[in-house]
């Protein structure tokens, strides 16, 4: 099951996106609708709200008077927290029921207005954010919802800003143009990313494709931070490092984010396989590291590899024993390239020189093997670099 979090500021057109995804066959779970369901007449939610805020928040027919309740909680953090403590657990329980009842091969889209504000992004395989500029959102709220402009601006200002949303967005859907434009973008997202991603998860396979070296992308660190948050949600507080070429500022690289996860043993690594698969990172069997330097025992260079099933964001996760030679090598190699401009430029030339031979077929392993002579020669250079820095382990 592919879990997609959908959010965006009020008036950004999130419902348009959700509706189109539902037309394609997504199971859409609307958090706002669930929040209404849990406070319908006769529910525990409505009873608890009346007990907490008084009968003035009920209509004469015994329903929730949303305007009266908003008047109490909108500008009062304590009152809003009390309301959230009543509503949120009930919405979460109902959400879990609906997800559990969806077919296993579903693409579940969870429409959550406050996904960013509540820190929910790492729980999803993918986060989609709809965007429109503030003035356009205010105009929509005033025109389509008959909302006073002052209220519209207050509601926009009370939500997370664009920077916070961009930080969690795997997909940024610009809805400042015509409806046809955003609907076309949703169609492409469904066909090119969501459906293949869901199929990869169902088949327990990773996304693949030929290696292609590209210019440095200044957004790689932000992308890595999003992936790291997702991984930490899956595996807990274990050592996790962004490694490889995309972790070296200014270095050309394959557009693949590499991470290193620390464990105490390969048995512990194997025990994480299901959690990583559930997070979108199936195991890639049969891979290990080539011994380098003085430590030549192959067992010390063992690892497990998990790669992302997402065709739109390639990720390799190397699960290694913390402090083992391959763990240390990955960090030292990254930090050497960060510090040594000449080595960084030389490595870039090697990578670019190998591309013509490997870019037209899915030869990631062959590409890695072709770099081995240069990598092997780098062992002594790295040791010398760290000796000069006073590291006695070199």
Annotated binding residues for ATP, written as ranges, equal 11-16
- Which residue has tokens 């790295």? 382
Token readout for 241 is 């490092």
Residues marked as binding? 11-16
Helical axes 325-339 vs 372-388, angle rounded to 10°:
80
Contact of 197 with 26, CB cutoff 8 Å:
no
Residue 7 near residue 116 (C-beta atoms within 8 A)? yes
Number of Cβ atoms within 10 Å of the Cβ of 114: 15
State the Cα–Cα distance between residues 124 and 249, nearest whole angstrom: 28
DSSP string, 294-312: T---GGGG--EEEE---TT
Question: What Cα–Cα distance (Å) separates residue 12 from each residue in 17, 69, 169, 170?
Answer: 10, 24, 15, 17
Nearest in space to 113 (alpha carbons), one of 49, 160, 171: 160
Would you say how long the chain is, in residues? 394
Q: With b meaning 16 or more CB within 10 Å and e meaning fewer, what string describes 154-178?
A: ebbeebbeeeebebbbbbebebeee
DSSP letter, residue 191: I
Closest CA to 200 of 286, 127, 319, 309: 309
């Amino acid at each position: 099951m592919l879990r997609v979090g959908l959010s965006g500021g009020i008036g950004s057109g999130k419902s348009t996106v959700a509706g189109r995804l539902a037309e394609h066959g997504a199971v859409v779970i609307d958090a706002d609708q669930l929040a209404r369901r849990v406070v319908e007449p006769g529910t525990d939610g409505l009873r608890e709200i009346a007990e907490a805020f008084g009968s003035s928040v009920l209509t004469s027919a015994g329903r929730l008077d949303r305007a009266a309740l908003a008047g109490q909680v909108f500008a009062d953090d304590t009152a809003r927290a009390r309301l959230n403590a009543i509503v949120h657990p009930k919405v979460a329980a109902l959400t879990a029921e609906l997800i559990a009842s969806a077919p296993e091969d579903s693409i579940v889209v969870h429409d959550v207005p406050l996904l960013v504000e509540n820190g929910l992004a790492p729980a999803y395989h993918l986060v989609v954010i709809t965007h429109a500029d503030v003035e356009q959102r205010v105009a929509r709220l005033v025109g389509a919802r008959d909302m006073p402009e002052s209220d519209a601006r207050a509601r926009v200002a009370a939500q997370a800003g664009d920077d916070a949303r961009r930080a969690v967005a795997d997909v940024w859907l610009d809805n400042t143009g015509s409806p046809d434009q955003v609907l076309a973008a949703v169609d492409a997202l469904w066909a090119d990313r969501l459906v293949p991603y869901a199929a990869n998860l169902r088949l327990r396979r990773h996304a693949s494709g030929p290696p292609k070296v590209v210019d440095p992308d200044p957004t790689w660190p932000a992308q890595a931070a999003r992936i790291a948050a997702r991984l930490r949600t899956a595996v807990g507080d274990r050592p996790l490092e962004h490694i490889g070429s995309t972790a070296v500022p200014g270095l050309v690289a394959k557009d693949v984010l590499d991470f290193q996860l620390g464990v105490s043993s390969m048995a512990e690594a194997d025990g994480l396989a299901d959690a990583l698969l559930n997070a979108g990172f199936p195991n890639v069997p049969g891979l290990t590291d080539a011994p380098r330097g003085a430590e030549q025992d192959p067992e010390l260079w063992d690892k497990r590899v998990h790669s992302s099933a997402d065709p739109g964001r390639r990720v390799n996760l190397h699960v290694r024993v913390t402090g083992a030679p391959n763990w240390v090598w990955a960090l030292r190699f990254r930090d050497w390239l960060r510090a040594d401009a000449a080595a960084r430029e030389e490595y870039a030339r090697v990578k670019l020189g190998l591309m013509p031979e490997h870019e037209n077929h899915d030869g990631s392993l062959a590409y890695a093997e072709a770099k081995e002579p240069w990598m092997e020669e780098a062992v002594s250079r790295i040791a010398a670099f760290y000796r000069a820095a006073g590291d006695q382990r070199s």
